[in-house]
Structure 1
Amino acid sequence: MSRPRILCISFSNLRADSRVLRQLKVLERHGDVTTLSYGPAPDGVAEHLEIDHALPSLPQTPSGVMKLAVRAYRSVEFDAPAVRAALAAIGDRRFDLVVANEARALPLAHRVAHGAPVWGDMHEWAPEERTHVLSWRLLVAPFMTWVCREYLPRTHAVTTINDSIAELYRTSFGVSCDVVRNSTDRRDLAPSPMQPGRIRLVHSGGAVPGRSIETLIDATKRLDDRFTLDLYLVGARGADAYLRSLVERAADCDRVSVHDPVTPAELPRVLNAYDVGVFVLPPRTMNHRLMLPNKFFDMVQARLALVFSTAEETDALIARWGLGLVSPGYGVDELVATLEQLDAASVERFKRNAHAAADVLNSATDEQVEDDLIRSLLSSR
């Protein structure tokens, strides 16, 4: 008997997309997976349909922008250049399950499903993905809201990253969401020993404007010589100037180092050499206020102490497990004041607590949610 055929759509580069890579690992247990995305094929899939990275996944053409402006959403939902290319690439293929990663993939997923069940992994809160950008707020946010209202009620399963955002989808669009966190596999690591007279800070992630990485650099410069900061930064599309500015900002401080990124699979092992994972994210959108990012789980698996800026979901987990400190604000002053509270004894205690939490804050529970969901969808087919 042939295995089910599964299509996984994500307008991202899958080799750098930790959440979708974990999703693919589960999907491959249940069928032969075809991926549709930017960038080269991820390992292990049966087939890959690559979309040219130059093609936007939103209708950013002159006619598309005009349609967004007049809210002619029915006529624009398949106008994005990447969506048109995706339809051509899929052709007459048929699948037993279609997975749409993020709201922008939902119309395409339903169009190519031909009656097969659709799983919509919304990741975060789609209507406010980038509402700190004026053009997004005026043109794209209403379109994303329309997509959710139009397609989520007929999507067979919906997932998101935490309970707070699941509740937003329930109250706003009347859909029940399962929670699949941005957790990573449990790693067989132990807290690394501290170096005498050193507190080694580390941050990993996208070099994206708005992520306040400059705040981490400036805070380190103001801290005493115990503190070092290592940055593992992923260049983001269209943000080369920001990454260059960070490298230049760090150049005059020998306690700040900028490194090339490492793969998601390697990241916890690399981070394990440090002491404190640090992250500051001003709450410009609902997703920022309700964040529960990949890096939180990567840092726990790396057995690091944590210092994060305040956010509802991460605050609760840091407090519950005794993982570190929460900066009450988002500026350099607040971060410096928070980091100055650390000493060797407290960092070692937080690292031990992360070691205990790593047995629970990993992907096993989330993979079980996905396994059950996929089995149910395929059996209904």
Structure 2
Amino acid sequence: MPSPRILCISLSPIHRDARVLRQLAVLAEHGEVTTVGYGPTPAHATSHVQVPDSALTLPQTPVGVVKLALHRLRSAELDAPAVKYALGALAGQSFDLVVANDARALAFAFEVAGGAPVWGDMHEWAPGQRDQYFVWRHMVAPLMDHMCRTYLPRCAAVTTVAQSLVEEYARVYGVTPELVRNARPFEALTPQPVPEDGTLRLVHSGGAEPNRNLTMLVDAALALPHLTLDLYLVPAGDGGRYLRTLQERAGGSERVTIHDPVPPSELPRTLNAYDVGVFSLPPDNFNMENCLPNKLFDFLQARLAFAVSPSPEMARFVREHGLGVVSADYSGESFVEALRTLTPESVTAYKAASDRHAHELSSATDVATSHALVTRLLGR
């Protein structure tokens, strides 16, 4: 009996998309996986449709923009250049299961599914991904809302990353997703001791993007003389402009170091050399306010203490497990005050808590949920 054929669509650079890579590891245990996305063939894929980097994921063409402006949403569903390219590349192929990562892939997934079940994995609250911007609110958000309203009820399974998003999808679209967090596999690491001189080594990893509040992290680290800050950053598509801004903000201080990014698989071992994982995100939109990002699980498996902003999901995660400190508000001053409360003794205790919860908060539960979901869908 031939193996099931599974199509996984993620209009992202899959080879460095940690969530999708974990998803692919599950899918590959159930069949042969074809991926659609940017960049080279990712791990676990049998075959790959590499979308050209120049092909956009939204209908940002003259005709597509007119359709968005006139709210001709049904007509615009498949107009994104990336989708058109991939549809051509997949012509004539059939699949037993199609996975759509994010709302912009939903119509595409149903177009190629041919009656096969579709699993919609909603990484964020789709209509609100960039709703702090006028153009998104008035031209793109209606398309994302249309995609969710039209296709999520037709999906054989829906998943999302945090309980607040489960509740919002249920409230707005009448579909209750299963919870598959951004947790990562258990890492056999131990907490490293805090330096004897009392220096606390802060660390952050992620994208070098202005909306990630990284200048505030630099300012906060420089405000307290016993802190250092190391940043492992993926450059944004701005030619390194924001990275240069961060370097200028650090003012040549030896206490702030910007590193090249490391592969997702190497992050916990790299971060394990530090003491406190730091992350603060202003609540500029629904997703930013309700985020439970990958990096928290990176910090946990690295056995770090935490210092985070009071985003509800992050604050709950840190407080429930005794992992670190939460700032009183989203200001830089508040973050400095939270950092000021950290001592070598408290950081050692928080790191020990990360170690105690590393098994419990690893991806094992999420992997089991995903395996059960795929088994159910392929058995339909």
Fold match, TM over 0.5? Answer: yes
Separation (CA, whole Å) in 1 of partners of 2:3 and 2:250:
52
Separation (CA, whole Å) in 2 of partners of 1:100 and 1:126:
13
Separation (CA, whole Å) in 2 of partners of 1:353 and 1:242:
35
CA contact (8 A) 1:35 1:49 kept: yes
Q: Between the two proteins, what is the percent identity of the paired residues?
A: 50
Separation (CA, whole Å) in 2 of partners of 1:3 and 1:268:
34
Superposed, 1:246-261 pairs within 5 Å as 246-261=246-261
Aligned match of 1:223:
224
Separation (CA, whole Å) in 2 of partners of 1:144 and 1:178:
20
Find out whether 1:302 has 2:315 as its counterpart: no
In 2 relative to 1, CA 238–104 (structure 1 residues): closer, same or farther, beyond 3 Å? Answer: farther
Task: State the SS of the aligned residue for 2:265.
Answer: coil
Aligned match of 1:73:
73
Find out whether 1:240 has 2:202 as its counterpart: no
Aligned match of 1:209:
210
Residue type of the partner of 2:217? L
Shift of 1:241: 2.0
Task: State the SS of the aligned residue for 2:319.
Answer: helix
Which 10-residue stretch deviates more, 311-320 or 298-307?
Answer: 311-320
Which consecutive residues of structure 1, in runs of 5 or more, have no partner in the other structure? none
Residue type of the partner of 1:10? S
Separation (CA, whole Å) in 2 of partners of 1:57 and 1:115:
24
* CA shift digits 1:122-163 (9 cap, x unpaired): 111101011122211121011101110011110110000011
Residue type of the partner of 1:216? L
Aligned match of 1:199:
200
Separation (CA, whole Å) in 1 of partners of 2:38 and 2:238:
15
* CA shift digits 1:1-21 (9 cap, x unpaired): 111000000010011100000
CA contact (8 A) 1:207 1:239 kept: no
Residue type of the partner of 1:96? D
Task: State the SS of the aligned residue for 2:278.
Answer: strand
Separation (CA, whole Å) in 2 of partners of 1:246 and 1:370:
39
Aligned match of 1:56:
56
Shift of 1:317: 1.7
Separation (CA, whole Å) in 1 of partners of 2:120 and 2:238:
27
Which consecutive residues of structure 2, in runs of 5 or more, have no partner in the other structure? none
CA contact (8 A) 2:21 2:43 kept: no
Aligned match of 1:314:
314
CA contact (8 A) 2:182 2:294 kept: yes
Aligned match of 1:139:
139
Aligned match of 1:124:
124
Q: Number of residues paired by the alignment?
A: 379
Shift of 1:29: 0.5
Separation (CA, whole Å) in 2 of partners of 1:266 and 1:88:
36
Residue type of the partner of 1:262? V
Aligned match of 1:106:
106
Shift of 1:286: 0.8
Separation (CA, whole Å) in 1 of partners of 2:42 and 2:5:
17
Separation (CA, whole Å) in 1 of partners of 2:126 and 2:302:
30
Find out whether 1:18 has 2:9 as its counterpart: no
Aligned match of 2:36:
36
Separation (CA, whole Å) in 2 of partners of 1:93 and 1:248:
51
Residue type of the partner of 2:205? S
Task: State the SS of the aligned residue for 1:210.
Answer: helix
Task: State the SS of the aligned residue for 1:99.
Answer: strand
Residue type of the partner of 1:222? A
Separation (CA, whole Å) in 2 of partners of 1:99 and 1:53:
21
TM-score (normalised: structure 2): 0.98
Superposed, 1:318-329 pairs within 5 Å as 318-329=318-329
Aligned match of 1:170:
170
